[in-house]
């Protein structure tokens, strides 16, 4: 956690973009180190070894750890006004050149690229107003490899918790090596269709070593973690004991006739960074429960 | 880890075993969706296609490149992209250019494995996202073609130094490590 003197918001956003791009969150690094310790499959060992070496080099050389610098997804929480959207967009444009980040953002139909990662609806910013005395800006960089594996299913309430578990496991297994496993499985259960997917994504912002306050959710996360890893899919889908580093679940009440479940997978490079701005300082970290 | 020197011949390719871990020193070119589309289009139209594709080691990669004031290019980050996107064009691409090795992530279809078996080509799995390490392996840019396709889509030529680790994930007999893992996973899931 780094504390600095106040800076303009645009600069703070640039800082979290650089932090997210170049330094893997500690919790994910620890989980990868642990996996390197328990893996017995030589292919899996080579993959985790290559990831860890890459992470060290990226941090040391101050370079993006993956060439797919993704789509930056922002969460703004606390007190803020609408001008913050402009600061965020400007920072994204600046960082696209300065870090550099790959210009990934295109028109969905005619596929033109402005070259600056900006365009209608981009960058994606979610607002969570609270009565707190700080402004907290979080970013997650989401590559296409993992984002393309996103699934939403409106289950029947009669499918029950077993149906929910099956859908989550199948989603991870069907994705195979495409989302660059081992990563994190973000899950939303309940809510409306849109909120369900949003929960699955938000869950990925939470550090792996942070426990869910609800013991039932904790137990479900643990069960899915063990089951998915016992599949043997392994790092990059090449076989091994480590398919996921963690499972993170969020739930919300839903319609009595619905049971929505969403899965949003984060790759090993689930790059996140957070800045909490108060009147006196800015505190940086790399994960938060939203 | 076995060191390979590119370009390599069919015999070397056929000697590679499934699951073996290798690295490559020598000539490697990058090409993804657009390179495949254009190269095959040019062949159909009788236009000239860059020589470097013949018997090439082809890396499915859209690198982040930077150019300095003197116009020299260098690579910043260059991990593998998802190979399955090239599934439909790859069989013909392999046959036309006698591609010797494809580096990518996630594996490729049965049809591609068939073409590989026929021509003598292997699929080498690179660790997804390990962009800085692979960029280091792509130590020198020796040229490029089709930069008009955009930075990630262009046909970049590299002289590599111990580019790796790469896992032989589809061998020149058409055996696939992905298939084997998939079968095992299906078995394991039944036990749950
Ligand atoms: S899935 Fe993640 S690690 Fe893999 S290439 Fe995409 S952004 Fe990089």
Nearest CB among A46, A100, A267 relative to B165 is that of: A46
**Choice between A7 and A200, residue whose per-residue pLDDT is larger:** A200
C-alpha distance from residue B187 to each of A84, A171, B157 (Å): 52, 17, 43
Same domain, yes or no: A118 and A90: yes
Q: What is the pLDDT of residue B51?
A: 95
Q: What is the pLDDT of residue B112?
A: 98
Q: What is the pLDDT of residue B151?
A: 86
Chain A nearest C-alpha distance from B181 (Å): 6
Same domain, yes or no: A234 and A169: yes
Identify the CA nearest to A228 among candidates A180, A193, A182.
A182
| Interstrand relation of B21-30 and B57-59 (parallel, antiparallel or unpaired) | parallel
Q: What is the pLDDT of residue B49?
A: 97
Residue A129, domain member (yes or no): yes
Residue A121, domain member (yes or no): yes
Alpha helices (runs of H) in A62-141, residue ranges in sequence order: 84-98
Same domain, yes or no: A193 and A281: no
Same domain, yes or no: A139 and A275: yes
CA dihedral B107, B111, B115, B121 (to 10 degrees): 10
Q: Provide CATH code, domain B2-191.
A: 3.20.130.10
Same domain, yes or no: A235 and A262: yes
Same domain, yes or no: A149 and A138: no
**What residues line ligand 1, using a CB cutoff of 6 Å?**
A 66, 68, 70, 143, 145-146, 179-180, 267-269; B 79, 128-129
Q: How far is CA A140 from the centre of its chain?
A: 5
CB contact under 8 A, B177 and A43: yes
Assigned token pair, A260: 């929505």
Residue A39, domain member (yes or no): no
Cα(B64) to centroid of ligand 1, in Å? 14
Chain B nearest C-alpha distance from A278 (Å): 35
Q: Is the pTM of this model over 0.90?
A: yes
**Structural domains counted in chain A:** 2
User: What ipTM goes with this model?
Assistant: 0.92
pLDDT digits (tens, 9 = 90+) for A162-217: 999 999 999 999 999 999 999 999 999 999 999 999 999 999 999 999 999 999 99
Alpha carbon distance B156, B130 (integer Å) = 19
Same domain, yes or no: A14 and A125: yes
**Measured between alpha carbons, how far apart are the two ends of chain B, in Å?**
35
Residue A50, domain member (yes or no): no
The C-alpha angle B102, B105, B108, rounded to 5 degrees, equals 65
**Greatest alpha-carbon span in chain B:** 61
Alpha carbon distance B183, A78 (integer Å) = 49
Q: At what angle do helices B110-119 and B90-97 cross, to 10 degrees?
A: 10
**Choice between A7 and A285, residue whose per-residue pLDDT is larger:** A285
Same domain, yes or no: A136 and A20: yes
Identify the CA nearest to A172 among candidates A183, A161, A163.
A183
Instruction: Kindly report the CATH number assigned to the domain that includes residue A109.
Output: 3.30.1330
CB contact under 8 A, B189 and A54: no
Nearest CB among B131, B136, B165 relative to A66 is that of: B131
Q: How far is CA A114 from the centre of its chain?
A: 25
Which band of pLDDT confidence, cut at 50, 70 and 90, is reported for residue A6? Answer: confident
Which band of pLDDT confidence, cut at 50, 70 and 90, is reported for residue A4? Answer: low
The C-alpha angle A6, A12, A16, rounded to 5 degrees, equals 135
- Whether the CA torsion B95, B115, B80, A144 is positive or negative: it is positive
Instruction: List, for chain B, all residue ranges whose pLDDT scores fall below the cut of 70.
Output: none
pLDDT of A80 strictly over 80? yes
Same domain, yes or no: A13 and A127: yes
| Domain span including residue A110 | 9-24+65-143+271-285
Known active-site residue B60: no
Which ligand 1 atom is nearest residue B82's CA? 5
């Amino acid at each position: 956690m780094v504390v600095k003197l106040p800076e303009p918001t645009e600069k703070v956003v640039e800082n979290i973009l650089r932090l997210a791009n170049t330094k893997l969150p500690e919790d994910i690094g620890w989980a990868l180190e642990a996996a390197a310790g328990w893996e017995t499959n030589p292919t899996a060992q080579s993959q985790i070894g290559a990831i860890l070496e890459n992470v060290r080099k990226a941090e040391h050389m101050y370079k993006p750890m993956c060439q797919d610098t993704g789509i930056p997804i922002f969460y703004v929480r606390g007190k803020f006004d609408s001008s913050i959207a402009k600061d965020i967009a400007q920072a994204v444009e600046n960082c696209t050149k300065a870090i550099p980040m790959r210009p990934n953002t295109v028109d969905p139909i005619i596929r033109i690229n402005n070259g600056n990662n900006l365009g209608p609806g981009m960058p994606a910013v979610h607002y969570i107003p609270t009565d707190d005395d700080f402004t907290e800006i979080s970013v997650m960089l989401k590559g296409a490899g993992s984002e393309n594996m996103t699934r939403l299913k409106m289950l029947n309430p009669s499918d029950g918790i077993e149906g929910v578990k099956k859908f989550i496991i199948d989603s991870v297994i069907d994705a195979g090596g495409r989302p660059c496993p081992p990563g994190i499985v973000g899950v939303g259960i309940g809510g409306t269709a849109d909120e369900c997917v949003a929960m699955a994504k938000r869950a990925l912002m939470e550090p792996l070593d942070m426990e869910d306050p609800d013991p039932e959710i904790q137990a479900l996360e643990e069960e899915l973690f063990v089951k998915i890893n016992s599949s043997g899919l392994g790092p990059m889908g090449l076989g091994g004991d480590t398919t996921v580093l963690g499972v993170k679940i969020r739930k919300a009440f839903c319609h009595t006739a619905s049971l929505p479940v969403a899965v949003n997978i984060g790759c090993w490079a689930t790059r996140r960074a957070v800045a909490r701005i108060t009147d006196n300082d800015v505190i940086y970290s790399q994960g938060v429960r939203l | 880890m076995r060191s390979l020197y590119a370009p390599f011949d069919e015999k070397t390719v056929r000697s590679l075993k499934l699951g073996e871990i290798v690295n490559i020193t020598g000539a490697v070119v990058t090409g993804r969706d657009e390179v495949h589309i254009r190269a095959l289009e040019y062949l159909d139209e009788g236009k000239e296609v860059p020589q470097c594709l013949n018997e090439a080691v082809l890396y499915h990669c859209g690198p982040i490149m930077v150019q300095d004031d003197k116009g020299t290019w260098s690579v910043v980050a260059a991990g593998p992209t998802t190979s399955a996107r090239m599934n439909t064009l790859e069989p013909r691409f392999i046959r036309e250019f006698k591609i010797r090795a494809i580096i990518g992530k996630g594996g490729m279809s049965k049809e591609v494995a068939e073409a590989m078996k026929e021509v003598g080509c292997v699929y080498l799995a690179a660790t997804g996202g390990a962009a800085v390490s692979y960029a280091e392996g792509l130590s020198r840019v020796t040229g490029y073609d089709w930069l008009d396709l955009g930075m990630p889509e262009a046909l970049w030529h590299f002289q590599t130094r111990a580019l790796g680790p790469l896992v032989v994930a589809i061998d020149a007999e058409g055996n696939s490590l992905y298939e084997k893992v998939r079968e095992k996973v299906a078995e394991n899931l039944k036990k749950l």
